[in-house]
Amino acid sequence: MPKNPMPTAANVDVARYMGKWFVIASIPTFLEKSAYNAVESYRQDADGTIATTFSFRKGSFEGPEKTMRPRGWVEDPVNHARWGMQFIWPIKAEYLIAYLNDEYTETIIARSARDYVWIMARTPELAPDEYQRLLDRVGVLGYDTSKVRRVPQRWP
């Protein structure tokens, strides 16, 4: 059964989107199933591509630090919410900014296949009602929210 197209944010100011985002929850890839203190950071380079750093502790807050550095690029020149992301050549992944609040403090990254999703924020914690609002939005996007895992975040 084909799924509805994934909606994206109406307009993304790429420069404003850059910086550090804490991964609050996700339907994780196999690489991040046991992630703690997961953080994704973006920097737009002079050529327009997006240098990305994804880091986390594996298995516990004291676990070994893992870091990935995929390269991203904006695929939609109109609203800038549809990106491509490449972790390993030649494999490219879809990266859709499905939700972004006006303050650029909360975002949901989704995929059309509805296999993975990430709830991210500029702070490592969200109030319970804010988290529930974002989780409900993930459900509206067509995801099974029972698969969403809270990412433990603990910072000094």
CATH number of 23's domain: 2.40.128.20
Length of the chain: 156
Q: Is the pLDDT of residue 3 over 80?
A: no
Q: How many domains does the chain have?
A: 1
The answer to whether residue 146 sits within a structural domain is no
d(CA 66, CA 58): 7
Could you tell me the residue range of the domain that residue 128 belongs to? 14-141
Q: Is the pLDDT of residue 1 over 70?
A: no
The answer to whether residue 2 sits within a structural domain is no
Reported confidence tier of residue 88, pLDDT bands at 50, 70, 90: confident
The answer to whether residue 42 sits within a structural domain is yes
The answer to whether residue 151 sits within a structural domain is no
Task: Locate the DSSP E strands across the chain.
Answer: 19-27, 35-44, 50-58, 65-68, 71-74, 82-88, 91-100, 106-110, 117-121, 149-150
pLDDT tens per residue, range 98-131: 999 999 999 999 999 999 999 999 999 999 999 9
The answer to whether residue 48 sits within a structural domain is yes
The answer to whether residue 37 sits within a structural domain is yes
d(CA 21, CA 82): 18
